[in-house]
């Protein structure tokens, strides 16, 4: 590995991350060839292609325009909480280069909704930008806290993603149960009505959900008018075959080892949703074949993060070129024709 990416890899992971966010703000535009075959939709939002950036890279919305210049069709910032939060004690971010993976236990470290809102308000509205929202570690009323951050940030974003699936905030994943999720979604629906401006709402789910939990979550999301699901977050499991000794660090695992687990969850979710929800495929996408498998398993659009760390910005063009070739090879004139092709 050469150039700046190689230099960043020699630094401690969190230091490298901070420098990468700063550097991306100065990134030149990388023009991608336009392709009608790759046009996609994120709920009601039209996109030139399906590949976006997952939450976690730009937690405070500092580098949105630079990330869009790299070629992502949409960028999701966050997770943002009502109040600033330092997160868990370092070290809390670990590279697993032997596995092309990352383990993190960051704990929603971010500058808080007011600072993020100020930054979003200053930028010109161009490109599709979503905000991933969470709650502070000491929250006693999740529904009220999610509503606070939604009301502050939704008017400044193109969509909102509700994070109830990070493994690094104690008790957060319990909010995925239907009984806990329903009042949160109800509070956000009331907030949206009060704002008078509709924003697509997505729920980001854990790849470790059992079938019964998943069935209840899907039906709750449909009943509450959610636009779609992001499938999914990092995993607390450790798939067989991991080679790095750091794989045993506590936290959420992302990257290549997550691909099979997240794609199977996507397939199960798509079968349950039956076209009633827009599904975002996330987890382990490194090349065009990975992307194509997610599309055929039911994803309308895609997100990546860890591949950017290991492959650099060129991975965006590579994935899209390979994806277009695969679609053309199977006779699909438009990406949407391939969505869910493997579901039978």
3-state SS class at 321? helix
Q: Which residues contact 280 (CB under 8 A, 6 or more apart)?
A: 42, 52, 202, 228, 229, 230, 231, 299, 300, 301, 302, 303
pLDDT digits 0-9 by tens, 180-217 = 999 999 999 999 999 987 899 999 999 999 999 999 99
pLDDT exceeds cutoff 90 at 43: yes
Is residue 166 part of the annotated active site? The answer reads yes
pLDDT digits 0-9 by tens, 231-257 = 999 999 999 999 999 999 999 999 999
Distance CA 63, CA 75 (A): 10
CA distances from 200 to 45, 108, 158, 267 (A): 9, 22, 7, 22
Distance CA 208, CA 205 (A): 9
Instruction: Tell me the mean pLDDT in the region 115-134.
Output: 95
pLDDT digits 0-9 by tens, 263-305 = 999 999 999 999 999 999 999 999 999 999 999 999 999 999 9
Q: What is the DSSP letter of 44?
A: T
CATH number at residue 162: 3.20.20.70
Q: What is the pLDDT of residue 3?
A: 63
pLDDT exceeds cutoff 60 at 2: no
Confidence of residue 1 (pLDDT cuts 50, 70, 90): very low
Q: How many domains are there within the chain?
A: 1
Instruction: Evaluate whether residue 343 is within a structural domain.
Output: no
Closest CA to 175 of 203, 147, 201: 203
Instruction: Tell me the mean pLDDT in the region 114-123.
Output: 97
Percent residues over pLDDT 90 in the chain: 92
CA distances from 155 to 51, 147, 197, 224, 229 (A): 24, 13, 7, 20, 20
Q: What is the pLDDT of residue 8?
A: 82
Distance CA 222, CA 243 (A): 40
Catalytic residue among 73, 139, 165, 166: 166
Instruction: Evaluate whether residue 342 is within a structural domain.
Output: no
Q: What is the pLDDT of residue 39?
A: 98
Range of the structural domain that residue 307 is part of = 3-337
Instruction: Evaluate whether residue 275 is within a structural domain.
Output: yes
Instruction: Evaluate whether residue 344 is within a structural domain.
Output: no
């Amino acid at each position: 590995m050469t150039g700046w990416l190689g230099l960043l890899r020699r630094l401690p992971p969190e230091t490298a991350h901070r420098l990468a966010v700063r550097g991306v703000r100065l990134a030149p535009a990388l023009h991608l060839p336009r392709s009608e075959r790759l046009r996609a939709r994120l709920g009601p939002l039209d996109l030139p292609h399906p590949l976006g950036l997952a939450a976690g890279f730009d937690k405070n919305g500092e580098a949105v325009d630079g990330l869009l210049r790299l070629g992502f069709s949409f960028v999701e910032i966050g997770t943002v909480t009502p109040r600033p939060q330092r997160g868990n004690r370092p070290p809390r971010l670990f590279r697993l280069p032997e596995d092309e993976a990352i383990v993190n236990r960051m704990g929603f470290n971010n500058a808080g909704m007011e600072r993020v809102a100020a930054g979003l308000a200053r930028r010109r509205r161009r490109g599709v930008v979503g905000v991933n929202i969470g709650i502070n570690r000491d929250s006693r009323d999740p529904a009220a806290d999610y509503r606070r951050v939604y009301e502050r940030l939704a008017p400044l974003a193109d969509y909102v993603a509700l994070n109830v699936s990070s493994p690094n905030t104690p008790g957060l994943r319990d909010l995925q149960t239907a009984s806990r999720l329903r009042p949160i979604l109800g509070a956000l629906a009331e907030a949206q009505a009060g704002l008078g401006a509709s924003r697509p709402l997505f729920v980001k789910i854990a790849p470790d959900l059992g079938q019964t939990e998943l069935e209840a979550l899907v039906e709750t999301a449909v009943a509450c008018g959610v636009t779609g699901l992001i499938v999914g977050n990092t995993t607390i499991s450790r798939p067989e075959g991991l080679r790095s000794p750091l794989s045993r660090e506590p936290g959420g695992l992302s990257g290549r080892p997550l691909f099979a687990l997240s794609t199977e969850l996507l397939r199960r979710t798509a079968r349950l949703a039956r076209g009633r929800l827009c599904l975002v495929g996330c987890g382990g996408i490194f090349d065009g074949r990975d992307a194509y498998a997610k599309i055929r398993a039911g994803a309308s659009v895609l997100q990546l993060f860890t591949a950017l760390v290991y492959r650099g910005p060129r991975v965006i063009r590579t994935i899209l070129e390979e994806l277009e070739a695969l679609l053309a090879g199977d006779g699909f004139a438009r990406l949407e024709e391939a969505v869910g092709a493997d579901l039978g």
